[in-house]
Amino acid sequence: MTIDTLEDLRTLYGFAKERAKDKQLPALEKHSKNFIEQSSFVVISTFDRDHRVDVSPRGGAPGFVHIIDDVTLALPDAHGNKRLDCLVNILETGRIGTLFLIPGVDETLRVNGRAELSKDENLLTRFASEMKTPASCIVLHVEEVFLHCAKALMRSNLWSADAQIERSALPTLGRMINDQLDITTAPETQEAMIERYQDEL
Alpha-carbon gap, residue 5 to 185, rounded angstroms: 51
Pairing of strands 53-59, 72-76: unpaired
pLDDT per position as a tens digit, 93-104 = 999 999 999 999
Check residue 195 and give its pLDDT: 86
Check residue 130 and give its pLDDT: 67
Mean pLDDT, residues 17-41: 92
Mean pLDDT, residues 3-12: 93
Mean pLDDT, residues 132-140: 91
Alpha-carbon gap, residue 50 to 101, rounded angstroms: 29
Query: Is pLDDT at 131 greater than 90 in this prediction?
Result: no
The domain segmentation of the chain, as residue ranges, is 15-156, 165-200
Check residue 178 and give its pLDDT: 93
Mean pLDDT, residues 147-161: 95
pTM: 0.92
Query: Is pLDDT at 201 greater than 80 in this prediction?
Result: no
Model confidence at 200, pLDDT cuts 50, 70, 90, reads: confident
Model confidence at 18, pLDDT cuts 50, 70, 90, reads: confident
Model confidence at 26, pLDDT cuts 50, 70, 90, reads: very high
Q: CATH classification of 15-156 is 3.40.50.720, yes or no?
A: no
Alpha-carbon gap, residue 139 to 114, rounded angstroms: 8
Mean pLDDT, residues 84-113: 97
Check residue 189 and give its pLDDT: 87
Three-state SS for the chain is CCCCCHHHHHHHHCCCCHHHHHCCECCCCHHHHHHHHHCCEEEEEEECCCCCEEEEEEECCCCCCEEEECCEEEEECCCCCCCCHHHHHHHHHCEEEEEEECCCCCCEEEEEEEEEEECCHHHHHHHCCCCCCCCCEEEEEEEEEEEECCHHHHHHCCCCHHHCCCHHHCCCHHHHHHHHHCCCCCCCCHHHHHHHHHHHC
The residue that leads in pLDDT, 80 or 127, is 127
Pairing of strands 41-47, 53-59: antiparallel
pLDDT per position as a tens digit, 168-188 = 899 999 999 999 999 999 988
